[in-house]
Amino acid sequence: MKALITGGAGFIGSHLAERLLERGDEVCVIDDLSTGKLENVAHLRDNPRFHLAVETILNETVMDRLVSECDVIYHLAAAVGVELIVKSPVETIERNVLGSHVVLRLASRYLRKVLITSTSEIYGKSDSIPFSEEDDRVLGATTKSRWSYSCSKAIDEFLALAYHKEKGVPTVIMRLFNTVGPRQTGRYGMVIPRLVTQALAGKPLTVYGDGQQVRCFTFVEDVVWAAIHLMEEPAAVGQVFNVGNDKGISIADLARKIVEMTGSKSEIHFVPYSEAYEEGFEDMRIRVPNLNKVKEAIGYEPRVQLDEILRRVIEHFLAKKGQD
């Protein structure tokens, strides 16, 4: 099996490449390194079954060749992170929508199976907790750039489902809920790496808003397991699946836990959303998935829980600190 991973030098993509190579697959990664890093895949480059193209997925000439040579496509390339979304809405919309269009059009040309990675942001401000795949979406005004990410990923989903229905492209959609683990950075506002880095440096931990917003964190290896098994499950084609952990924690409690686990003397500072992002920023208060559908489809269960996730992330940053 030869897999093409878009965004494969990124956080999730590099872990997926690792796992596919371990089981004997051939892996081709395309990444423009806008958010991905060569160091994420440096340990894979001596493997003769690993191939890397440093290029944007918007280059249709390169993508045409890569898609024609692969068996399946894991489409992970996207603009992600609340900070990037608020600061660069044009980049967010264009990279997500246009990139997915290229991937799906070429998948249609060569009839390749595609996994589309989507997001819990799809659900917007809905208070129907836990979120189920068929729930209505509740979003803020178009004047709030924060919702552009949700809308761009919704277009990705609509397009993937349309290509399946109209052109017979086998597509699977996976909505992710706060994936974390080693190699993730706090560069674009990812909360756990940012708080862990601050705690280890003895700096104040910055919690946005009142800290009572609830999130569920999923270990990257659980996400990779789900992605591979969803691609192997025939009944998953043309379907949407939540993939995450359904045990929530407030961000304020998360910060306290990180301070405790790192042995840090850092204080916790609460920063208004208007200072962190923009005036009038709207957040999702509670984000918890209903996992019944993915459990029934592939027997998915989140295997790594929060304390173990934090332990591994802390170890990762301590190891990096020791190398610097």
Tell me whether residue 88 is in a domain.
yes
Question: Residue 123: is its pLDDT beyond 80?
Answer: yes
Number of domains in the chain: 1
Of the pLDDT bands very low, low, confident and very high (cuts 50, 70, 90), residue 13 is very high
Tell me whether residue 210 is in a domain.
no
Which residues are the active-site residues?
Answer: 149
CATH of the domain at 65: 3.40.50.720
Tell me whether residue 72 is in a domain.
yes
Averaged pLDDT, 240-263: 98
Tell me whether residue 116 is in a domain.
yes
Tell me whether residue 283 is in a domain.
no
The dihedral formed by the CA atoms of 310, 316, 322 and 324, expressed in degrees to the nearest 10: -120
Question: Residue 110: is its pLDDT beyond 80?
Answer: yes
Of the pLDDT bands very low, low, confident and very high (cuts 50, 70, 90), residue 275 is confident
Tell me whether residue 207 is in a domain.
no
Tell me whether residue 239 is in a domain.
yes
Averaged pLDDT, 82-94: 78
Query: Which pLDDT score, from 0 to 100, does residue 17 have?
Result: 98
Question: Residue 267: is its pLDDT beyond 80?
Answer: yes
| Structural domain of 146 | 2-180+218-244+288-302
Averaged pLDDT, 16-21: 98
Tell me whether residue 202 is in a domain.
no
Length of the chain (residues): 324
Of the pLDDT bands very low, low, confident and very high (cuts 50, 70, 90), residue 92 is confident
Q: Is the pTM of this model over 0.85?
A: yes
Question: Residue 1: is its pLDDT beyond 70?
Answer: yes
Question: Residue 276: is its pLDDT beyond 80?
Answer: no
Q: How many C-alpha atoms does 304 have within 13 Å on its Cβ side?
A: 18
Of the pLDDT bands very low, low, confident and very high (cuts 50, 70, 90), residue 24 is very high
Spatial strand order in the sheet of 171-176: 50-54, 26-31, 2-6, 72-75, 113-119, 171-176, 240-243
Of the pLDDT bands very low, low, confident and very high (cuts 50, 70, 90), residue 93 is confident
